[in-house]
Amino acid sequence: MAACPSFPPRDGAAFLRAVRAAAADYFATNHLSSKADAGMVVKTCIMLALTFVPYALILTNRFSGPEMLGFAMLSGLGMAGVGFSVAHDALHGAYSESDRVNNALGCTMDLIGASGYMWKITHNVIHHTYTNIHGADEDLAVSPLLRLSPHAERHWYHRYQHWYAFVLYSMTTLFWVFVKDYKYLFKRDLGPYADRKHAPRDVAGIAAGKVVFYGWSIVVPLLVVRLPWWQTALGILAAHLVAGITLGIIFQLAHVIEETTHPEPDQTGTMPDGWSVHEMATTANFAPRNRVLNWFVGGLNFQVEHHLFPRVCSIHYPALSPIVRKLAEEYGLPYHSHETFRGAVGSHLRTLRRFGSGMYLSA
């Protein structure tokens, strides 16, 4: 690993011990496992069905072109749901106590086109450790057309990024399944990693996942669906645009809003705050009372709790939220949360405008 930012070891340690102890007490008192429950299993089945039942209906050729397009869009929504509510928990080891179960369900990420192996590196390790740190957090470098950090190089077109950002977000899965994974696979310096090498079995796993995804999502429809090829291609594109805009927006609302900070290390490579304090300053929740949104996005609207407890299943985040908020207040730490989805989106757009114009205002 190359030289990377380090965190003061004691700063925030008391808060982290307290919040972990409180969470452990919550699970013990209520006789609950920190992993998935029956409701999570049901949701897993629903998300997989939302992806593949509309897909299967398309393959029957019993519906009109517009109806097939609608099914394709539903399938895209299901793909986003699988990523949010199944693969994300599984790849964090939060779905089950069994590594075998987590690994099996983690393959659903490859099933919808993205490499679970690369996700573990770029998300589980890099993003969760170096949140909002320019040059380390790969989530801030999704596209040169977007300036998601006030420390990134600014170009003239960034001034308009708050107008075109959602268009780029809609291409999230297209970029992910056709470019991003390959880019990171061949990129030797990845975040804080220098000269990163991948084992042959991991490369083979990425290749196998891509073959499966390209097969079911592109090759089979083009061979089976009795529509002109361009109409079938339009349906495939529509599925990706729906999945992309859904994933892209949700991911950005957790870290790129007005309240969150983008700290930098000092000349010695040391961050100003300890890791737990850093996470509280750079992460935000949104729409915590929106039960439908919380169910669909797998608790990713409770990003504060997710970053503190990545190995706890997302179904428990709403219950842990008041515990974390109370302790944050006691220890004088921020607890960022937008009450509504709309409010969070507005804050994100205002942040894009400020970063694009060169202004950096942080709470």
Please determine, for residue 138, whether its predicted confidence score (pLDDT) is greater than 80: yes
Whether residue 293 lies inside any domain: the answer is: no
Range of the domain at 259: 36-275+342-357
How many domains is the chain built from?
A: 1
* 159-212 per-position pLDDT tens digit: 999 999 999 999 999 999 999 999 999 988 876 777 788 999 999 999 999 999
- Domain membership flag for residue 26: no
Is residue 115 situated within a structural domain?
yes
pTM over 0.95: no
CA separation for the pair 107, 96 (Å, rounded): 14
Q: Do the domain assignments include residue 9?
A: no
* 104 part of a folded domain: yes
**How high is the mean pLDDT of the chain?**
94
Task: Give pLDDT tens digits for 221-265.
Answer: 999 999 999 999 999 999 999 999 999 999 999 999 999 999 999
User: pLDDT digits over 44-67, tens only?
Assistant: 999 999 999 999 999 999 999 999
**pLDDT of 261-285, one tens digit each?**
999 999 999 999 999 999 999 999 9
Contact in structure between 280 and 331 (CB atoms under 8 Å): no
pLDDT of residue 363: 41
pLDDT value at position 362? 46
Residue 9 and residue 62 in contact, taking contact as beta carbons nearer than 8 Å: no
Confirm whether 288 is domain-assigned.
Answer: no
| 334 lies in some domain | no
Residue 4 lies in a domain: no
